[in-house]
Amino acid sequence: MKINSYAKINWTLDVLYKRDDGFHELRTIYQTVSLHDTLHLTLTDGAIEIACDNPEIPCDESNLVYKAAVKLREVANTDAGAQIFIEKRIPVGGGMGGGSSNAAATLLGLQRLWQVEIDERDLFRIAAELGSDVPLFLLGGTLLGIGRGEEIYPVEEVQCDYLLLVNPRILVSTADAYRNLSQLTRAQAPSIIPFTFFAAREMAKLPLIARNDFEDSVLLTHPQIAEVKQMLSELGALHALLSGSGATVFGVFDNLQTSEQARDAMRRAGYWAECVRTINRSDYQATIFRDND
């Protein structure tokens, strides 16, 4: 069985305040995009084995894919196993949820491979326990995320056919990104996921008015990311923004030719760059499984 494990970007990301449990209260709008890893699942008689074509990825019990498989097996009360090979295309630690997406794809794929059926509430609970970004990949499309980001709600789809993802080949510490934020006590931020956007039916404008609270702190300590944003603007991007806590930046373009020219220029400059489009919820659900490849 082959499974597409899609990446995400954040159209908006607001960090409001630090909660009593030590996490930060977030408001974000997630978007799945066409870049994806591929998971290859093979049924075994009990062992759970992880392998990957990227040496940066640990293939032991610390891998979220392994943890997802173990949790699902416990809840499903089965002794089935699986060999899971991860074919990586999403940059590691790039703010695009690659590991979380792999975990969610594992939960969805193993249900089918093991022929077990898990209650939807249990599935989302498992996903949230694995990580804040994991639940969004159970649904896909454009989603509002609140709490730690793990509580998700489908919203009006945002379509953008000409996105360019650029990664300066550096890692950004999410912990440092939180630590360096200058305002963490805003219990009532003016940009609390702009519910006003929804009321005014302006979701389609998100690609051009998106914002990310992490930008100030991350760009201050990682000037390479600021250089990427500047280059994207000079190459014709209508808007450029950090995804998650970085280091990937997405640029919004109005045509394929300009986005591809920008991609080629960024690659010549030594950056990882890939043209993508948004993936809505129906396309996401229809293309996750690749049984007939």
Residues annotated as catalytic (active site), given as ranges: 8, 133
DSSP annotation of 252 reads E
3-state secondary structure of 218: helix
What distance in Å separates the CA atoms of residue 151 and residue 165, rounded to the nearest whole number?
A: 26
**SS3 of residue 7 by DSSP:** strand
Cite the beta strand spans of the chain per DSSP E: 2-18, 24-44, 48-52, 81-87, 142-147, 151-154, 163-167, 211-212, 239-242, 249-252, 272-276
- Calpha distance 85→112 (Å, rounded): 16
Angle at 37 between CA 36 and CA 42, to 5 degrees: 135
Which tokens go with 238? 């209508």
CA dihedral 113, 118, 121, 123 (to 10 degrees): -30
Cα 44 off chain centre by: 29
67 close to 134: Cβ distance less than 8 angstroms: no
Helix axes 223-234, 256-268, angle to 10 degrees: 140
Q: Which of 276, 270, 287 is nearest to 243 (CA)?
A: 276
The separation between the first and the last C-alpha atoms of the chain, rounded to the nearest angstrom, is: 9
Residue 236 buriedness (CB in 10 A; 0-12 / 13-18 / 19+):
middle
